Structures are given as structure tokens and as C-alpha cells.
Structure 1
Amino acid sequence: MGGCRVLGQVWGGWRRGPGVRAAPTASSFGTEARHQQQRRGSSKRSGPLDDRPFSGLLRPENLSREELVDVLRAAVVDQKGPLVTLNKPQGLPVTGKPGELTLLSVLPELSQSLGLGERELQVVRASGKETSGLVLLSSCPQTASRLQKFFTHSQRARRPTGTYCAVTDGIPATSEGKIQAALKLEHIDGVNLVVPVKSPSRKDILEGVKRTLSYFRVVAMGSGCALVQLQPVTAFPSQLQAHMALQLCPLLGDHTYSARVATVLGQRFLLPAESTRPQRQVLDEALLSRLHLTPSQAAQLPLHLHLHCLYLPGARPRDPPIKLLAPLPSYFSRTLHCLGLHYQ
């Protein structure tokens, strides 16, 4: 663990970097949302934009194993000791069916490519297929076990270990707070979907319903959208997508849960989750114009959810935590430029 680069002392709340105004402390961030928003961020945009709105987007189905290994090797953001940190492209699954091209399936070749010899990498921490951002790998089973225990302990202690950046279609009603919801996985029309459960009973909990928790903080607003930092405390499939849909602010590029948010006469409301089928996200004309997208292009919009930083334990118990960072994908940065949202 001592070989990992220390990028700054962080814990619990939002870290304040050089030149950035003080953020809420851990205690204030973990409280219920109570601060009304003040308008931040400009809606102005300037300069020409690339005609390819999703340039650099990964299409795993079009890659050979060798090409994917090259992509992943170029995506390494840190390699120290047994730990390798990748900036995973959006659209790459971590696991899959036998024969499918996934991150897990090419780890032997990636290990060789990185000069690890017989010390094959294993996944310690990774997000789902549609999420971009940090993936933590280890070539040492003992280190991997220690880190997995750290993540499990942090979750039980209600202590976030990662921060996501997201763009929402809509602006949360408050500038910061927490989202609590009981969620379950339900097989609907051949698809596994996350469904919220109101007032779950003890029987519901025993049958797979989980009480979930995420913290959020609005960083900037503009053009009816928001740049939001998200810190999940619990781990559940599609938790952040489901949580933001419950806030009536689905994630941009969410073609699964955004359909649950409907608008009539300018007012948003939730549709029943059990009877609302996934569909391509529909954006209004004003937002399409701001993003320089046609409706057909918007139907291919990637999910704007990026695991931006991870917090790891120091080499010794008294050492400060380690912070690992991954830059935003090019399509994400393009969206921020179009909407006049500035990430600090």
C-alpha cells in the first residue's frame, strides 16, 4: 500500500483543493438537505464545438482482445507496487457471459502488458458497464483482500469511499443533502430493473429489499441541468441512477430510469416504477439545442456518471487516506462546455 501515490488528505466529506472555496464539512454534508440553492454557473457557451459529439466513446463490440488491452493500458492513471488504477471507458463491462469481451476477460493479457509476469491482476473496485471512471486492480491477493475489507468496513460505518461526477437533466430542489430509499431488483418483461419500495417490512428486507443511502452536492447549474457530486454509502445495482430519478432529476444519458420522470405543464412527477418500461431518454428542444444534438444523436447519449475519485487507506493506521483521481471523458467535458457548467 505504501507504493500508492498520495494525492491529498481526504475523509468523509468533500475535499478542498488549492484555489477552491471551502466545501461543507463531513458532518454538515451528511445531514438532511436543508439549504435552498443559489444560482451558480453560467449558461453561456463560447467557441466552436467538435462535430463528433461522442468522440472517443468505446465500442467494445468493434474491438479485438489486443485492441482492448491497448486501450486499457493507455487508460492506466497510476501504477505503484501491486496496485493499478484505470480510467475505465464508458460502455466497457467488467464481467459478462463466457466468450464476451470484458475487463475481466483480458486481465491476463493486461497483466503481461504491464510487466507483471505471473502476478495476474484482479478487480478490487469497479463500477458498472455504463459508468466511466476509476477501476482499482491489484496483483497481490493480500493487498486486494485488505482493500476489500476496508471498503466493506467503510460501508458499514456509513463512510463514503468514492465520489462520482454526474450531469442531471433537471436541478435538485436543494443544493446538498442525502437520498434514502429502499430498493429491490425486479424482473420485469425480461429485464432486471431497480424498483423503489415504500415502507419495507422485515419480510421485504429478508427477501432482498435493501435500504440505500447516497449523499449529493450541486456544484454548478445552467440550462436546466446541474453538475452534481454523488457519494454512495451503500452499494446496490444502479443505485445512483435510481436515486436521482427519485429526485426528479435523472442522469443525462440514462436510458433506463429517466422514463419514470414525466412532465405536465412544466411540473415533474414520478410514474409508477413497476409499470414504466425503459426507453431512450427524451430531451426537450432547448436542451438539444444547447448540446448541439439531434434527437437521434441524443438517443445514443452516454450515461454522464463518472467515478472521479477513490479514497484508500494509508500504508499505516495513522497515515492520512490516499486519494486517486480520474479525469472526465471527452464527451462529459463537451457537455459541461455546452451547458456552461464549470467543474472545480
Structure 2
Amino acid sequence: MNDEDILTRVLFRDALMLVLDKPAGIAVHAGGAVRGPTLDSYFDALRYGLPRRPELAHRLDRETSGCLVLGRHRKSIADLNLMFREGNVGKIYLAVVEGGPDSGEGEIDLPIGPKDKERGWHQKVDLEKGLPARTGYKVLGRADGKSLVELNLHTGRTHQLRVHMAALGCPILGDRIYGNEGGALHLHSWRVSVPLYPKKDPIRVEAPLPAHFVSTLNELKIPVGGIEVSRV
């Protein structure tokens, strides 16, 4: 990753907001056990003439790819942060999971809380003390004991999609924490819908599937018709 690389990953830009196509394998910011360069190290290249660099409106896990929203001004950053906290931003993910849900579509409504207070990022389903967490799902294809699933993130708890899919008995492929296999995590922030301007339609942005995701779908012979794929 370098300044030129991050410029090629801009999916949307206007006066208030940027949406990046985050690559898998890089943390969005420093903290905790994060080592090495982080994505926000390159945000100065995204000023586009403004005095301040853009800042994160939300977070994605290191191994998750796809749509990442940034605010370009102090007020828009605060407004976007609030939209994400209050669940007003539409967030659709794609995942390849082991096995698959029994039904073709449905909703998971299971509260989530820390598994270990000293490792706050490690979560579990906690029916007594967990925070509310809701995920809608729709199976888009099945093959060879795996499924391509569309996930609608209604709330935004830490590792929510990973915990919910594991609780359903179909962990996300490549999930070393909540699943059974190593390799690349097959979780992609596919679409966001941001109601940034009150009197206008939400801004809708879609991120192409990364190469490792496409390769797996090709191996499984699950078609990706209508889904944009990465050029790299």
C-alpha cells in the first residue's frame, strides 16, 4: 500500500464524504495488538485540496474488505459517526460460509458481549448481558458444502457477522477466531447506503469483490452474475 494505491481505491467522493474500497489484511487504525502500517497512515493523500485529511466514520476488521466510509470535515465526520451509531446507514455484506443456513433467508437476533473482558474484541453470544444485535441473511448460492450469503447488518457490534454466522452453525470461511479454517477471511463490505443529505436520496456505493473471494466462488462454481469483481 502507498499513496498512489489508496487513490485508486476511492469509490465515491463529494465535498463531505469519501468511500474507499478497503483491502483485506490491513488494519484501519493503530491500537491494541496492531503492528505495521495502518490504512489511516495514507489518509493525507486523500485531502484533495482540503486543509484536513479525512477521518474514519466507522471501522472494519483488518481481514474484512470493501466499503469504508470517511468524513472530510469536522461536522460531516461527527454526522456520519452518529448515523452509524444510530443504525441509519445501510450496510450489506457478502460472505462465503461453511455449510449454510437451513432456510434461504431470515434474521438472527442474538445479543453479543465480550467473551473475555481483557480481550474486548473477542465476542460471544450472551443472552443475559449482551447488547442487542440483529443480522438479516439471504443465501445467494450453495455448492460443495459452502454457501454465498448476503448479510444485512442492522446493528454494528464488534465481530457481529462473524459471531452470528458461527452461532448459526455456518462460520465464515477463513475465520480463525470463530470458525474452523485458516486462510483468507471471506467477508466483504459490499454496499453502503448513506443518508448524508436530508432532502436527497441516500448515497449508494458498491465495492467490487476482491480477488481471493472471486477465486473461491469460481472454484465452487457459484456464479457472481450482477456482482462487480475486482480488477486485481
TM-score of the aligned structures, taking structure 2 as reference length: 0.87
1:24-43 equivalent positions in 2, closer than 5 A = none
Establish whether residue 241 from structure 1 lines up as the match of residue 169 from structure 2: no
Q: Is the 8 A contact 1:111 1:119 kept in 2?
A: no
**Are the equivalent residues in 2 in contact too, given 1:215–1:233 (CA < 8 A)?**
yes
Residue from 48, 51, 54 that aligns with 1:118:
51
Question: TM-score normalized by structure 1?
Answer: 0.60
The CA deviation string for residues 199-245 of structure 1, in whole angstroms up to 9 with x for no partner, is x1xxx3xxxx2121110011111111111000111111111011001
What is the root-mean-square deviation of aligned Cα atoms in Å? 2.2
Secondary structure, in 3 states, of the residue corresponding to 1:144? Answer: helix
Equivalent residues of 1:165, 1:230 under 8 A apart: yes
CA contact (8 A) 2:71 2:80 kept: no
Change (3 A) 1:76 1:127: same
- 1:63-142 alignment, distance < 5 Å: 67-97=1-31, 100-108=36-44, 110-112=45-47, 115-142=48-75
Question: Does residue 122 of structure 2 align to residue 193 of structure 1?
Answer: yes
Q: AA paired with 1:94? A: V
Equivalent residue for 2:212? Answer: 331
Asked if 1:307 corresponds to 2:189, the answer is: yes
Q: Closer, same or farther in 2 for the Cα pair 1:339/1:72, shift >3 Å?
A: same
SS of alignment partner, residue 219 of structure 1 = strand
The answer (yes or no) to whether the contact 1:84–1:136 under 8 Å persists in 2 is yes
Contact 1:163/1:308 (<8 A) preserved:
yes
Q: Can you list the C-alpha shifts for 1:321-341, whole angstroms capped at 9, x where unaligned? A: 221111000111111111111
Q: How does 1:282-321 map to 2 (within 5 A)?
A: 299=182, 301-313=183-195, 315-317=197-199, 319-321=200-202
Q: Tell me, in whole angstroms, the C-alpha distance in 1 between the residues paired with 2:79 and 2:113.
A: 29
Please give the secondary structure, in 2, of the residue aligned with 1:210.
coil
- Larger fraction in strand: 2
* 1:340 equivalenced with 2:221 (yes/no): yes
Q: Aligned partners of 1:253, 1:190: CA distance in 2, in Å?
A: 21
Using the TM superposition, name which of 184-193 and 241-250 deviates more.
Answer: 184-193
- Decide whether aligned partners of structure 1 residues 99 and 196 sit closer, same or farther in structure 2, where only a CA change above 3 A counts: closer
Separation (CA, whole Å) in 1 of partners of 2:78 and 2:89: 19
Gaps of 5+ in 2: 227-232
Task: Output the CA distance in 2 between the equivalents of 1:123 and 1:160.
Answer: 14
Q: Which residue does the alignment assign to 2:230? A: none
After superposition, the Cα gap between the structure-2 partners of 1:313 and 1:76, relative to the gap in structure 1 and judged at 3 Å, is same
Q: Kindly indicate whether residue 145 of structure 2 is the aligned counterpart of residue 224 of structure 1.
A: yes
Shift of 1:181: 1.2
Matched residue type, 2:109: Q
Q: Aligned partners of 1:87, 1:131: CA distance in 2, in Å?
A: 11
Name the structure with the higher helix share: 1
Unaligned runs of 5+ in 1: 1-66, 260-280, 282-298
Measure how far apart 1:69 and its partner are: 2.4
How far off is 1:180 after superposition? Answer: 1.4
Amino acid at match of 1:175: G
Paired residues for 1:258-273 under 5 Å: 258-259=179-180
Identity of aligned residues (%): 26
Larger radius of gyration: 1
Corresponding residue number in structure 1 for 2:97? 168
Change in Cα spacing, 1:312 to 1:96, as seen in structure 2 (3 Å) is same
- The equivalent of 2:112 in structure 1 is 183
Contact 2:188 2:209 in 1 (8 A): yes
Change over 3 Å in CA distance of 1:162–1:191 after alignment to 2: closer
1:77-117 alpha-carbon deviations (Å, 9 max, x no partner): 22222322110000110122398411223323x235xx334
CA contact (8 A) 2:121 2:158 kept: no
